[in-house]
Amino acid sequence: MDLADLKKLTRLIRYYILIMTHAAGSGHPTSCFSAVDLMTELFFKYFEQDLSDPQNPANDRLIFSKGHASALFYSLYAAAGIITKEQLLTYRQFDSVLEGHATKRFRFTEAATGSLGQGLSIAAGEANAVKHFQGRVVYESLPQIFVLLGDGEMAEGSIWEAANFAANNKLNNLIAIADINRFGQAQETMHGHDISRYEKKFKAFGWETIVIDGHNFIEIDHALQKAVTHQGGPFIIIAKTLKGKGISAWEDKNGWHNKMLTPEEFAAGIKELGEIDFKMKGTVKSPGKIKFVPNPGLDGKNNHNKEIITIENKLTAYQKDEKVATKVAFGNAVARLGEEYTQLVVLDGDMKNSTATDQFAKKFPDRFLQMYIAEQNMVGVAVGLSRQGLLPFVSTFGAFFTRAYDQIRMAPLSGVTILFNGTYAGVSLGKDGPSQMVLEDLSMFRSLINSTVLSPADAVATEKLVEEMVNRDGIVYLRTVREPTPILYTENDQFPIGGSKTHLFPVIPGLTGDPSNIEDSRFRGNDMGGTDSNNKQVTIIATGITVIEALEAQKLLAEEGTQVRVIDCYSIKPIDAETIRLAARQSKAIITVEDHYPVGGLGDSVLEALAENEHPPVYKLAVYKTPRSGKAEELLAYEEIDAAAIIKKIKSLS
């Protein structure tokens, strides 16, 4: 489109923004107006997208990191003929896909960015996937990843983590456009209209920059032309703009963030926009061609649609009498599975020699991303990788996921699949002390919509669960520990997600017992005393390292003539509710044991499974005291989650 048409189109887009936000009574129109000229010229002159197929791998991508400018985002598609005026007027209504901050319910949304500071990381992840992980796709021309930034969100550290990553990885297909309108929500931003401050920062991070007047179409065109043809690293257009540009009542004035015009001001604003051609429609350029080449396991599309693969190679050989940390077993598993899953990529935050991802890094260096100590960006990049059809496995100390929780909680809104390994979990970490001991991770990941949370007790269970994870959609979390644990299971044992392992009482000389010590997720009839209240026993439900303590307690109690049942609850979410309810009917008490804070973890998950059923008392053994440095066994004893504490609790119930 030529310059005259683009200018006419901006009037139509501003009109759309004004009427839809006025009808909704909210919607940040001033933040939209400042970026209209920038986005109109980008969208209708340089952006390439197949509007009939938003998932076309050849498409450019456009991410609104300033997600509150959603009315502008939707108005671009209205100007392209994708959304009707009537649909725009449903903005922010319950049944409308045009939500207040764009989500995947609107099919052209690349990622949910309503929480500021995340869009640049996601864009960097997509740019990295397109440039370095092309899979089955060979591009006629490399798709560009565009991201609109707001100056307010540039106070977020995650922006600069992403800027560092993009420059370090020479992502010349990443183009950022910074809308510097100088106002945040409550007041002027940190640097106001001092554009040089932003330019110096991005230059320092290794970006190519250009500073322009964001309302001058000649300058915008020159900047975009330079951006899409440059051959260096990532590129940013830093545009000085006016918040509310085009409506004098709010142009370049504070106090209008998400504030609506009165009916009189609204009428005056419509008039001020000037003559509008309502029949006008913008044209978006079609993307270049692509060619597919055989590469099983990667579909090359920008949605997550991985092929389920039966694992052919064998489980790592573990000896029954050895002890292996579950973190090591995780490393063994991902290195092994990388052969079958060619879309599997591993991201690690400078922990590969501790999290055991160094095995994968050595075997598949082109599919290993060293993200350094920047966890927020690491998760954001994983979102972008997943949007490009890759299967990211993000690994670090579980404690450090807490600082990236905003990115983690936003990921489901983008419809992505990300696998997480949080290691060095619990007080069993020992001497490193409480700052390194994640004790809220089960609660954190369990609270996410449609998430999966797993906590294996031994190396075999860990490897089997990693095999399950790679065929699971959504946010999937695996909890692993540093402390070596004995091998409990064999390669013939299965660990379906949502299952559990039941350990009946051990066979002790002189005592009668069931020779089958382990049963998958079921008990037989009256093996453990049936429903006779006089014979009911205690059931211990444990997870992770506390399964080892529970089994030790079971053995010691059996030697004294007391029988208890132990359930290895390796799947926290979904939990094996059927087995737990059956155990409750056959038990006089249930004791849950977890190396985790008492809120939101195993104990609460068990209680939720029993909530609508009659059940015996449930006692939660968990980390109630502030931990400290020490040996693993000292910490487990101090928190009263070791075998001795379990035995003490059981004896107190008799």
Q: Which residues contact 134 (CB under 8 A, 6 or more apart)?
A: none
Q: Is 136 exposed, middle or buried (0-12, 13-18, 19+ CB in 10 A)?
A: buried
Please confirm, yes or no, whether 375 is among the known catalytic residues: yes
CB 540 within 8 A of CB 554: yes
Q: Which residues contact 581 (CB under 8 A, 6 or more apart)?
A: 609, 610, 613, 615
DSSP string, 540-589: EEE-THHHHHHHHHHHHHHHTT--EEEEE--EEES--HHHHHHHHHTEEE
Residue among 385, 428, 420, 382 nearest 629 (CA): 428
Radius of gyration of the chain from its Cα atoms, rounded to whole angstroms: 28
**Of 375, 467, 594, 639, catalytic:** 375
Q: Which two tokens stand for residue 29?
A: 């129109």
Q: Which two tokens stand for residue 638?
A: 């101090």
Give the integer Cα–Cα distance in Å for 257 and 507: 71
Q: Which residues contact 577 (CB under 8 A, 6 or more apart)?
A: 609
Q: Is 301 left (phi over 0), alpha (psi -120 to 50) or beta?
A: beta
CB 8 within 8 A of CB 79: no
Give the integer Cα–Cα distance in Å for 596 and 633: 15
Report the 3 state secondary structure along 151-219.
CHHHHCHHHHHHHHHHHHCCCCCEEEEEEECCECCCCECCCCCCHHHHHHHHHHCCCEEEEEECCCHHH
Give the integer Cα–Cα distance in Å for 235 and 433: 43
CA dihedral in degrees (461, 415, 30, 89; nearest 10)?
Answer: -150
CB 294 within 8 A of CB 56: no
CB 397 within 8 A of CB 438: yes
Query: Mind telling me the catalytic residues?
Result: 375
